[in-house]
Amino acid sequence: MPCTTVLVGKNASNDRSTMIARTDDGFFDVKKLIVVNPKDQPRTYKTVLSHLEIALPDDPMRYTACPSVDPKNGTWAATGINAANVGMTATETITSNPRVLAADPLVTYKKAKSRREKDVPGGIGEEDIVVLVLPYIRTAREGVLRLGALLEQYGTYESNGIAFNDENEVWWLETIGGHHWMARRVPDDVCVIAPNQFGMDAFDLDDAFGEKKTCLCSADLREFIAENRLDLNQGGKFNPRDIFGSHTDVDHIYNTPRAWFMGRYLTPFSHRWDGPDAEFTPESDNIPWCLVPDRKIAVEDVKYMLSSHYQGTPYNPYSGIDSGKRGMYRSIGINRTGVTSVCQIREGVPEALKGLEWICFGPTTFDALLPVYPCVEKMPAYLANVSTDVSTENFYWGSRLVAALADPHFPACVQAVTRYQNAVMTEGRRIVLEYDRKIGETGDLTLAAEANEALCAMAKEQTTSVLNAVVREATARMKDGYNLADN
């Protein structure tokens, strides 16, 4: 599914935490945040879309997940943090090219055409990956190795990027065709920006086939490249993006502009992003995969980037001035987003509290990011008890309503929405600081559940307040309004 990913190394963040974040831009999927305890994890996993059965280990850990409320197309767990404080987000749909896909075709489900034939299962995909990997890994590197083995064994029916983080490392894996893959450890001092394209623009093959310190890949990747004459690079350079990725006109409308906006935000001084002498434009194919930010990055910065609608540029769809460029590029904040998460693994807090999961439901431009502790047996009803029916009694639908009402009246509603987002972030941080201290002093981990209830009570109060405001504004601007003194 089309998504946008941001990864933050520990030396690039303000508090030396690692962060992996992604907008899950589905088809208006209704999502919820739950805890999956070991007794509830299946021992045999059955995919819905590809009709594949996979035996799972018998020692799963507790983990959080953001599955689809309607299970008709599968779980789509999206993101989570496990009991070992390993975060995962899956997946970022990425691009490829015909040369790669012909050499290693995607593994798609084939339904039998007659009674004499049998169905042929497909590979694994976004529907499955979190459930197959996250409960069984204790480091980010282990996540790469487990997923890589699954890809080599079962294949995949789509091209994807997947992120893992623990307290010290962030790893990014990209699939290559049906069975191949490569992964890099994100340098500690950078932020990665990934907008639906094969992103890695550098890779150390010698390390991947040697010490494996910062690079990992499928066992025959070198042979795969050579035998299929995939290398397009000149002068001995090895750029995976040129070999495995795409450079299309569609990319220049849908993908590269998002990387441009995020890069522009991260490095406004060290690179030129605007004007006739810009190093990078919204349609540049060479925007770096990772950048050292001009200042340290906090969760608020990640939310801002993932809420982008090209504010401050001629491409802003909400601009009152039509420059002829308004709305020409695909925004990061988009109406069909189901859930956005930031999996943050922190230092300087008790071991059990290192994971902090930030959740935003619906379109990020309008909705708030709420932190919760994942080290609990269950999530509050405000996050977990979601149905496919609209309701103000849960965070998902409350967030959707705010966005749907505010969008047509952006100038009138933007101040109320901004106050709402800041209030949830501020109060959320305050409550987390309070309970970090309480749990650290008492050692009572059951207080994490109490903290989550307090966080959700706050979020419900703030969401109700902003709903009151945007309903009033939207009602006042209805087209059937009429006053006796109207001319």
| Catalytic residue annotation | 3
In 2-52, DSSP assigns E strands to 3-8, 18-25, 34-36, 44-46
* The two structure tokens encoding residue 88: 């995962």
What does the chain come to in residues? 487
In 30-108, DSSP assigns E strands to 34-36, 44-46, 53-55, 63-65, 79-81, 87-93
**101 DSSP 8-state letter:** H
**186 DSSP 8-state letter:** P
* Residue 277 burial class via C-beta count within 10 angstroms: exposed 0-12, middle 13-18, buried 19 and up: exposed
CB hemisphere CA count around 340 (13 angstroms): 33
Task: List all residues 6 or more positions away from 168 whose beta carbon is below 8 Å from its beta carbon.
Answer: 10, 18
Phi, psi dihedrals of residue 355, rounded to the nearest 5° = -80, 130
Report the alpha-carbon distance of residue 194 to residue 172 in Å, rounded: 10
Helix (H), strand (E) at residue 432: helix 410-442
Helix (H), strand (E) at residue 383: helix 381-384
DSSP 400-421: HHHHHHHGGGHHHHHHHHHHHH
Report the alpha-carbon distance of residue 461 to residue 458 in Å, rounded: 5
Task: List all residues 6 or more positions away from 412 whose beta carbon is below 8 Å from its beta carbon.
Answer: 473, 477
Quickly tell me which residue has 């980037």 as its tokens. Answer: 305
Do residues 113 and 23 make contact, with C-beta atoms less than 8 angstroms apart?
Answer: no
Angle at 19 between CA 16 and CA 20, to 5 degrees: 165
Do residues 399 and 41 make contact, with C-beta atoms less than 8 angstroms apart?
Answer: no
